[in-house]
Amino acid sequence: MLPYGLPAATPDIATLLTQPAAAQPAAFTWGAGGQRMTPEDIAAQRKRATGMMQGDYSPIQSPWQGLARVAGNINGALEMRNANRAAEANAADGARMAQALAAQARFNSDPAPISGGGLFGLRGKAF
């Protein structure tokens, strides 16, 4: 018996319908919310990374301040690397898409239809 009192057509279908769906694999995350980063997102991330890596050569007041500067530079370098990887992924995806479209265009290119001219190839004869 299926849910809501529906009779089972066959036992195989009934078992398939009553079993829980298989768990979906986790999506690959590129940017915020799992979406691919746009060129504007990449530019903003690079700007943030450049701001983190700005050199401050003034004397430090404590070793902790020096450590904070080093950590900021490391974080900036990691952000820049992530932005570069996202740009490379976008370029590779664009190249793959262009290849797929070119292959599809070659596959779907039909030769010019052969006709005798006129309306429906009737050589000037009109209805």
CA–CA separation, 44 and 99 (whole Å): 29
The mean pLDDT of 45-66, rounded to a whole number, is 90
Compute the average pLDDT of residues 7-13: 55
What average pLDDT does this structure show over 10-33? Answer: 57
Predicted confidence at residue 29, as pLDDT, reads 46
Q: So what's the pLDDT on residue 78?
A: 94
Tokens of 98: 């262009």
- The pLDDT confidence band at residue 72, using thresholds 50, 70 and 90, is very high
Q: Read out DSSP for 71-91?
A: HHHHHHHHHHHHHHHHHHHHH
Break the chain into its structural domains and give their ranges.
34-104
Position 27 pLDDT exceeds 50: no
Q: For residues 60 and 66, is the Cβ–Cβ distance under 8 A?
A: yes
For the chain, first and last CA: distance in Å? 63
Distance of CA 1 to the CA centre of its chain: 43
pLDDT at 120: 56
pLDDT of residue 28: 47
